[in-house]
Amino acid sequence: MGQRMGFGHRPALLIIDFQNAFADENFFGGYNIGDAMANTERLLQTCRQTQTPVAHVRFATSNDGSDIGPFGMKVPRLKDLVDGDPAADIVAALTPLKNEFVSTKRHGSAFFGTNLHTWLTSKGVDTLLISGCATSGCVRASTVDASAYGYRPMVVVDCVGDRAQAPHESNLFDMGQKYADLVSLEEVQAYLAG
C-alpha cells in the first residue's frame, strides 16, 4: 500500500464545498478549513495562470431538504444549505469564472448526481488535483470516486480541511495508502509550471 502514482499529463483542479457555511465556525467550519481555503486561493491563481481546467462543486438542497435523503437525517443542518441562500454560496475569494465548471451536489461525492465525470472526460483529464472540505467526508468520497473513474487523485494536503484534527489526519493517511497521492501546494505549483 501507499505506492506513488505520480502526476499524469492532463490535470484539472477540483474544489469541493468551499462555501460560506464551511468558512463559519458556527456552521460547519473549524480546525484548518480557513487555512485550506486560503491555500486553495493560491492554487486557483496558479491553475488560472497555467490554463488548467477548474471545477467547483458545492453542496446545496433545492428546497426543504427532502432531496438529500438519509444524508440530511444524519446531518440535519445540511437542510439549511438551500440554493440561493448565502450560506450555500461559494466563498467570494474562490468565485468561479465563466469558463470554469460549476455544479451542485446533494451528497458527499462531487461525482454523485453531477456531470463532473462527463466534463472531465471532455477535457481529456487524467489527473485530478483535489482541494476542499471536509477531508473525512466529501473530499474522501470524491477521492474514492475519482480513483474508481480512472483519474489519478492528487489530494493537495495544504488545500483540504476538516472540522477537527484527528479525522483530517487519519483520512489523509488512509487516502494516501489506498486511493491518492498526498501532495503539497508547492509540489503542485511546480508540476503546473513545468
Asked if pLDDT for residue 152 goes beyond 90, the answer is yes
60: in domain: yes
Q: How many structural domains is the chain composed of?
A: 1
According to the model, what pLDDT value does residue 96 have? 98
106: in domain: yes
**pTM (predicted TM-score):** 0.97
The helix (H) or strand (E) run that includes residue 43 is helix 33-49
- For the annotated catalytic residues, the residue numbers are 138
Distance separating alpha carbons of residues 79 and 11, to the nearest angstrom: 33
Distance separating alpha carbons of residues 2 and 175, to the nearest angstrom: 9
35: in domain: yes
162: in domain: yes
| Residue pLDDT, tens place only, 2-41 | 999 999 999 999 999 999 999 999 999 999 999 999 999 9
Asked if pLDDT for residue 141 goes beyond 90, the answer is yes
139: in domain: yes
6: in domain: no
3: in domain: no
According to the model, what pLDDT value does residue 64 have? 84
| Residue pLDDT, tens place only, 33-70 | 999 999 999 999 999 999 999 999 999 999 888 899 99
**Residues 146-150, mean pLDDT to the nearest whole number:** 98
> Containing domain of residue 100, as a range?
11-193
Average pLDDT across the chain, whole number:
97
According to the model, what pLDDT value does residue 63 have? 83
**Residues 64-77, mean pLDDT to the nearest whole number:** 91
According to the model, what pLDDT value does residue 135 have? 98
Band of pLDDT at residue 92, cut at 50, 70 and 90: very high
Asked if pLDDT for residue 140 goes beyond 90, the answer is yes
Query: Which amino acid is present at 58?
Result: R
Band of pLDDT at residue 144, cut at 50, 70 and 90: very high
Asked if pLDDT for residue 194 goes beyond 90, the answer is no
78: in domain: yes
For the domain that residue 119 is a member of, what is the CATH number? 3.40.50.850
Extract the C-alpha cell encoding 168: 483530517
Q: What are phi and psi of 52, to 5 degrees?
A: -80, 130
**Residues 176-194, mean pLDDT to the nearest whole number:** 97
